[in-house]
Chains A and B, each alone.
Chain A
Amino acid sequence: MSDIPSELLYTKSHEWVRDEGDGSVTIGITDHAQELLGDLVFVELPNVGDEVEAGADCAVVESVKAASDVYSPLPGEIVAVNEALAEAPEAINESPYAEGWLFRLKLAEQADLGVLLDADAYRALEDAD
């Protein structure tokens, strides 16, 4: 059973979103996603300052099995990326919700957290998977 913290929000494509309460969110991939991918070997992150739209692919995670796009679930501007992943992508396997975060987004005005799934809805999706 994978770990699904109840305080986070989720997407169907297995990203998690943490509302920082200051108009920004932190985004990463879920425990289930890292389990499916297996050992991560490379991470490609967006540039700070990039404007992204909801649903845009803005990062790539590559494991021994596959390379997978990571989508921004919300529109906004990239304000920080987890530089440490360049040297230690295994942080995503070891700690997907803390040290393994990918990027932080300053939300655009029209961003709506309501489109995201809560932990229960994401768990139901994962069970059906």
Chain B
Amino acid sequence: MLLFEQSVAGRRAAAQAPRQAVAPDDIPAGQLRATPPALPEVSELQAVRHYTRLSQKNFSIDTHFYPLGSCTMKYNPRGCQEIAALPGFIARHPLAPERHSQGILACFHELQEILKDVTGMAAVSLSPAAGAQGEFAGVAMIRAYHESRGDTARNEILIPDAAHGTNPASAIMCGYRVREIPTGADGDIDLDALAGALGAHTAGIMLTNPSTLGVFDRKIERIAEMVHQAGGLLYYDGANLNAILGKVRPGDMGFDVIHMNLHKTFSTPHGGGGPGAGPVGVSARLEPFLPIPMVGCNGDDYYWLTEKERPQSIGRLSAFAGNAGILLRAWAYARMLGRDGMHRVAEFSVLNANYLMKRLTDAGFQAAYPERRATHEFIITLKREAAELGVNTMDFAKRLLDYGVHAPTTYFPLLIPECLLIEPTETEDRRTLDDFVTIMQCIAGEARETPEVVKTAPHKLPVKRLDDVLAARQLDLRWRPENPPPGSSD
């Protein structure tokens, strides 16, 4: 029941209301509302129960295994939250002068240095507030670079067909045309097609390596050479950085620009749309174009780098320093891991994925690339189950929820029919992985014997099977009172 529906006229709970030291009496009369807002009128206990119950309905990394491919839903260490919540960080005003902000600036500077080191790039800016904004910044820098050289005929970005949908969207937002490059049967990019597409119009290529197919493109050095020879730049989508953290560096592979998803690889909380942080790193020739603000250090003091020091910057993408609280969590995480810990992230995320893929294929499930070693994620295709039993991937995904597992990514990448993209991450133990295999076997058994149970799942959640079509066509998330109070707009 919605909190509004529990409302009883005149009920109040003032004990927790903030006390105003000074009444806000300087608001212009024209800005004051004539009627009070329609708020639920409930007791403190009602409010507490309501929000506690809502939180219990959550599917989250704190409560459930969450193998959502390409999203890297790993545990968010509480130590990182604690550090980011220190009063010195929380109470600092974003406009506080540099001399009063040396602590937070030192953390940001150190995070810039750590990210440079772990990705092999020459410089890093932390300001993009999410992965998609990092992509936008990256492509905008590619554009700024070509334009600064008067090389303005380059109007095309190449993108493999397995890419995340954000890649073509970012390229188009920056005014580029997108040309799709097919993937070969082994999961690597089709080099002949790439050679055919490269030319005087190529501004760059956007690659995710390891790709969303869960394999590492083995010909990356050749690809880098071909794109650079054509005068294009290489963009690294950091969505899958977890698989190679501390092991292989995008800078060493020949990439010119990279965005990192700190909310994935550096374990800051995410899901439900945010908050994110998408720092960008670049090779030396792109450094002047990095988004501002960045943090500089002269050996003694830390200071902001802004328009003045960075006249060629693509500019500001967010207010102040981006999602500062998320950057602090990522800094704490990186410091907690240290260099050795970062290696272990990559090792165990890859080990967990390969273990799970092997166990699932032994249990009769079909891997999309059985001859390839998985990276930190892999794809199972339920094409056979869909054809033979009429139980498809969406049905499996919904049934997994009944068993207390968040469904893996479904129907992506689009290349693989009836697919599940599974990413266990390094923070799950072997028992959790074994349980997942048992649950998948159970559902496969149900699909054979009592398919209706799977096709009508979920059965144990607060809401049953939702109408995806209706939700897409007539999305309606707003509650409207039956008897609107007088003076309200509708």
Contact = CB atoms under 8 A, between A and B. Distances in A.
Interface of A: 36, 38-39, 41-42, 62, 64-68, 90, 129
Contacts of B472: 41-42, 62, 64
A40 to B, nearest CB: 8
Contacts of B412: 66
A39 B470 CA distance: 10
A66 B165 CA distance: 10
A-B complex: 3 closest residue pairs judged by Cβ atoms: A41-B472, A64-B468, A65-B411
Contact of B417 (A36, A64, A68): A36
A64 B469 contact: yes
B420 to A, nearest CB: 13
What's the interface size class on B, roughly?
10 to 19
A65 B469 CA distance: 10
A62 B414 CA distance: 13
B473 interface: yes
Interface in B143-173: 165
B473 A41 contact: yes
23 contacts: A36-B417, A38-B411, A39-B468, A39-B469, A41-B468, A41-B469, A41-B472, A41-B473, A42-B472, A42-B473, A62-B472, A64-B468, A64-B469, A64-B472, A65-B410, A65-B411, A66-B411, A66-B412, A66-B414, A67-B165, A68-B414, A90-B469, A129-B417
Contacts of A62: 472
A44 B432 CA distance: 44
Interface in B84-132: none
Contacts of A129: 417
Interface in B428-480: 468-469, 472-473
Interface of B: 165, 410-412, 414, 417, 468-469, 472-473
B156 to A, nearest CB: 14
A52 to B, nearest CB: 16
Contacts of B469: 39, 41, 64, 90
A91 B414 CA distance: 23
Most buried by B among A42, A65, A90: A65
A68 B165 CA distance: 11
Nearest to A41: B472
Contacts of B165: 67
A65 B468 CA distance: 9
Contacts of A67: 165
Contacts of A38: 411
A42 B468 CA distance: 13
Nearest to A69: B180
A64 B465 CA distance: 14
Given A41-B468, A41-B473, 5 more contacts: A39-B469, A64-B469, A66-B411, A66-B412, A129-B417
Contacts of A64: 468-469, 472
Nearest to A39: B469
B161 to A, nearest CB: 11
A36 B468 CA distance: 16
A29 B154 CA distance: 33
A62 B473 CA distance: 11
A129 B411 CA distance: 16
Nearest to B468: A64
A38 B411 CA distance: 10
A38 B467 CA distance: 13
